Structure 1
Amino acid sequence: MKNFIDIESYLWGNMTAEEKAAFEQKMAADPDLALEVEVQRLELKAIGQAEEAHWLAQMKAWRNAADSLGQDSGGSGRSNVGSSATAPQEATVRKLAGRRLLLWAVAVAACIAIFFFARPFFQPDAARIVSQEKELPAQLSSGLKSTEPGIPPTDSLSVLFLQGYAALDAGKFGEAQTAFQSVSESGQAQEWLKQASEFHLALALVGLEEYAAARERLQVIEGKPGHRYRGRAEQLLGRLEKVE
C-alpha cells in the first residue's frame, strides 16, 4: 500500500502535531491517500472488534475456571479442616488462580501483539509488494462520481477495473490479471484508465510470482515518458531485483 508507514503512524497516533496536520492536508488534496487511510482504518477496526470478542469470551472462560477451582478447593477444605478454615482457603485459592490466569492473559496478549505487528514482515514478498504498491486511481476513488467529466458511473471498463482491483486486494491474482489485461487491451479505455490497468496488471503478475513477465511490462511502462506510473514502475523494478 502506498504511504504505508505514514498511514500506520497516523492511525496509531505516532505523529507529532505538526506531522499530523501536514498529513491531513495531504489527505485533503489526495483522494487516493484518503481512501487508503480509510481502508486501513476499517481493517484495524475489524481486527480490534474480532480481538475484543475473542478476549471477552476467553476472560469469561477463565473466570468460570477460577470459580470452579475455588469451589473445588474450598469443598475439600471444608471436609478436612472444618468450616472455620473454608473462607481463608477459598480466598487463597482464588488469589493464586487469579494470578495464574493473569500471567496467562499477559503471555497470550504478548503473543497476539507480536503476531499482529510482525505479520507483514512474514508475508510472502510478492503479496507484500502488491499490498504496498496497489493504488486506486483518483478518478475512481470517489465511487465514479457523475460529476467527473467523461466518466459515466456505469462505464463497463471502469467497473471491470474495480473488479480487478478488488480481486487484487483479496489476493486473487489470476482474476485480477484477467480484468486488468482486458481493460488495458480493450482499445476503448481512456488513457488514465489504460495506464492504471497496465501498472496493476504488472502487480497481478508479481502476485502470481511471474516475475519475468511482470518485469517485462514494467520496463514497457518505464520506457514511456508520459506514463503516469513511469516512476513507480522504475521503483518496482528495483524492488523485484531483491525478490528472486
Structure 2
Amino acid sequence: MNDQQLLRYSRQILLPQIDIEGQQKLLDSRILVVGVGGLGSPIALYLAGAGVGQLTLVDPDEVELSNLQRQILHDSNVIGLPKVESARRRLQALNPEVEVRPIAARLEGKDLEAVIAQADVVVDGSDNFATRFALNIASARVGRPLVSGAAIRMEGQVAVFDSRQPDGACYHCLFQEGGENEEETCSQTGVLAPLLGIIGSVQAMETLKLLLGIGRSLHNRLLLLDGLSMRWRETRIQQDPQCPICNGSRERWRELA
C-alpha cells in the first residue's frame, strides 16, 4: 500500500482484527452486488469506502424519481440513467481506487454463474423472490457465500448462506418457492427509507467480515428487525435434509435451473 492508501484506510488499519494485512485482503477482494437500489446503495457505498478491490454491480433498471426517497446512490440529475452507471459514477467519486464493473442486465443461468464464479462474496440487494432464488441456486452451485437481505414496510431481515460449510443452510431451506408473499414488493406495500440503510449496512458488515475472516458471521442465523418498535430478534436456520439445492445432486440443480 502507498501513503495515500494508508491514510485513506487508517481508521480500519488501526483495528487489530484488520491491520495492514487485513486491508490488503480487502484491496484484493472481488464482490458481486446484485441490485443497486434501496439495499444495494448502502452496501455498495460502504464496501467502496472500505476499499474492496472490485465491485461488480448488476441491475437492469434505470433511475426513476420514485427511487430517490431511499436509493441514496442516485440523485435527481441521473433520472433515466441506468442504475449501474449512476452507481459507478458515485462510487468512483467516493473512491477512485475501486474498480467498478457495471452490468445493466438481468443475468440468468450460466451467465449468472460465470459472474458469481469471479467473485469472493455475493451480496443480494434485489427486491424480488425470483432473483433471490436464482442467486441462491447459482451461489450454491459455484460455492460462494451469499449475503442476503430484504426490507419491506418497516421490517427487515439479514442472513448469510455459505455453501462452503458442511451444515450450511441455503435460502431455499428458509423460503419455499411459490410462497404466498412472493409477489410483495416495496412498490406495492411501501417501505420506510432508513430501514433499507440499516439492513444494507448490516449486509456490508457481514461481507467485510467474510472477506477478512473475522468475527462470527450470520451463517445459519436469520436476523430480524421490527423497525417500528426498533427490536431485533434472531432465529436459527436449519439445513433442510430434503432441500434440492444444498443437499441435492448437481443433476437436480440442473433440473431446477
TM-score normalised to structure 2 length? 0.23
Tell me which protein shows more strand as a share of its residues. 2
Bigger Cα Rg: 1
Higher RCO (C-alpha under 8 Å, 6+ residues apart): 2
Scaled by the length of structure 1, the TM-score of the pair is 0.24
